[in-house]
Amino acid sequence: MIENVKTTIANAVFWFGYYWYKVFNTTPWYSYLSLRKLFYTSNTQFNRRISSQIAKKNAQYGNISPIGVLGNLSEDDLANISNRIQTDGFYVFPSTLDSETINKLIELSFRTKARLVPKPGDEDMGFFDRTSPSTIKYQFLEGDIVQDPTIQRLISDPSVLAVAQAFLKSKPILDLISMWWSTAFSSKASSEVAQLYHWDMERIKFVKFFFYLTDVDNDSGPHCFIKGSNNGFPEEVRRDGRISDEEIKMAYSPENIIEITGKKGTILAVDTSGLHKGKKLDRGDRLLLQFEFSNSLFGVNSEYLTINQPCSELKKAVHSFPFVFQRYTLM
């Protein structure tokens, strides 16, 4: 009875915040928390209903040519990839990122300051040194890396936009660009850097593209995903917060606990509303680039960024698909 009352209140708070967002383009914090509660108490069904409404009002672009870094994709390919992401929670592309692009991104990571997580001392920011890391994670700021032409060309890639749209079933919004080094600095899995199982819920519906920029094996931080968990959770793990490996093993059979390894250049599309983690590194380091596309910016309030000297590919993409790039102003 009490739980039903809490759910009813959360539903009312969500809708108040959703219409507030429509008017003021910001999400009240308590409405975002209500989204999180309604996601797991409905076992993902609340988000599906809202996303269906968004898709009806936000028709897809009809002029995205799905040819690019993800391959020369057909409409059948897009449908298959979208279905695989929905069913399994993830898809590993046969195509890989080329070595020239990888090398440029690695070079970018060495000349760009990163936020240190956890903060090892008084310094918040620092450069990454592969020979002597001082913390677990070196997180680059979006406002810095989006200025790089290699990043700009990738976020403009029509095959990436087409897959995002096919999965979301509505015009996509690029709502996050992220890149970070992970290290074997700590012998214990860190909750702060998402090395314990959890689900994401910054948006109503979203898909993330991960680009492995270093070789990733079972000991060097693979993305771990519980296959099919984006479609609902067993009651024993149906909650907000971190979930231990032991609980996961009790709730899921071994064949559904997936570690996604791959050579540098490997590309994944993942619905991280399913249970996942970045496995703790036992050795070496890992550089990862991530793009997130969503069907709405309701949720964690977005940072709006100015891009100086955008490349020609980005200018063209912004002109053709302004809804996708609504967080960015080109100078």
Backbone angles phi, psi at 194, to 5 degrees: 65, 40
The CATH architecture one would assign to domain 63-330 is: Sandwich (2.60)
Structure confidence at residue 122 (pLDDT): 85
Pairing relation of β-strands 305-307 and 328-330?
A: parallel
Task: Enumerate the domain spans of the chain.
Answer: 63-330
pLDDT averaged per 10 residues in sequence order, the chain, 331 residues: 83 97 97 98 97 96 95 98 98 98 98 96 93 97 98 98 98 98 96 97 98 98 98 97 98 98 98 98 98 98 97 98 98 95
The answer to whether the beta carbons of residues 273 and 228 sit under 8 Å apart is: no
Query: What does pTM read for this prediction?
Result: 0.97
pLDDT of 3 reads: 74
Cβ burial 211-232 (10 Å sphere, 16+ → b, else e): bbbbebeeebbbbbbbbbbbbe
